[in-house]
Amino acid sequence: MGVVDPPRFRDPLAAGPAGDAPGWHRRLLILGLTGLAAILLGRFFPLSLVSNGICLLVHELGHTAVSIFFGSFAVPAVILTLTFEQTLLSVLGVWFLLLLLLWNVRSDARFAVPLGLLCAVYPFVARSALHVSLITLAGHGAEIACSAFFLHRAGAADLEREWERPGWALLGWLLAVQNAGRAWGLWTSEDARTVYETVSFVGDNDFVRIAKSSGVPLEKIGGLYFFAAVVFPVTALLLVLLRSRRERDAVL
């Protein structure tokens, strides 16, 4: 008797075969509708609470992750991050883990080269005043990075489950719209800068700290922030859309 393979059951939530991937125009439609929804969620109360809550969560997790990376234990606390004093032992522990990771990927230059550079500069940055500025920038940096990643996933043609696409897109647009709007205000509006400088839960807001420590005017920081908040998410989205379209044309 021959060997009979066991029956294979297809995941009902999984996307169809590669040829059934949603078309380029359909993905644009989903991205457009979710972008409009993100704008509405950000402008009208109480829907804006959802948008602000997502941004705050990502923001504080960014502070927390970079604080821990530089040897300072931290805990996100809704609207702020509790950061404790850095210890030399913690810095050495993180450096050891980075070196261990470098050893494991040493045969792959794509990872070994950048990780090697990171290992070389890490102890100097971690023990300098620069790490404090990087922790301060990590909140808005995390929002920009996550918006780029989410929109990149939303534009991909090879999602395992198609119902994920609107979710990725909505999260990406919520973060992108909130960041771009805040940055535009800091760049172009004296009133927005005054509010940002004077309204804070604890101490100075992030970019006020950066302005004081660097001597760069808050207006210029707002312009750089706006550039990053727009360019990185849009570039990530365009790259994946153009790549998937070229792949489709190559198949045809």
Show the tokens assigned to 146: 């996550």
Q: State the pLDDT confidence band at 41, using cuts at 50, 70 and 90.
A: confident
| Residue 246, pLDDT score | 63
Q: How far apart are CA 22 and CA 41, in angstroms?
A: 26
Q: How far apart are CA 189 and CA 183, in angstroms?
A: 10
Task: Give per-residue pLDDT as tens, 76-92.
Answer: 876 777 788 889 999 99
Tell me the mean pLDDT in the region 230-251: 79
Q: How far apart are CA 52 and CA 68, in angstroms?
A: 24
Q: What percent of the chain has pLDDT over 90?
A: 57
Q: Is the peptide bond before 76 cis (omega within 30 degrees of 0)?
A: no
The 3-class SS string of the chain reads CCCCCCCCCCCCCCCCCHHHCCCHHHHHHHHHHHHHHHHHHHHCCCHHHHHHHHHHHHHHHHHHHHHHHCCCCEEEECCEEEECCCCHHHHHHHHHHHHHHHHHCCCCHHHHHHHHHHHHHHHHHHCCCHHHHHHHHHHHHHHHHHHHHHHHHHHCCCCCCCCHHHHHHHHHHHHHHHHHHHHHHHHHCHHHHHHHHHCCCCCCCHHHHHHHHHCCCHHHHHHHHHHHHHHHHHHHHHHHHHHHHHHHHHHC
Tell me the mean pLDDT in the region 232-251: 78
More confident residue, 2 or 152: 152
| Residue 16, pLDDT score | 46
Q: State the pLDDT confidence band at 247, using cuts at 50, 70 and 90.
A: low
Task: Give per-residue pLDDT as tens, 105-138.
Answer: 999 999 999 999 999 999 999 999 999 999 999 9
Is the separation of the CB atoms in 40 and 179 below 8 Å?
no
pTM across the whole model: 0.84
Q: State the pLDDT confidence band at 44, using cuts at 50, 70 and 90.
A: confident
Average pLDDT, the chain: 85
| Residue 75, pLDDT score | 84
Residue 34, number of CB atoms within 10 A of its CB: 23
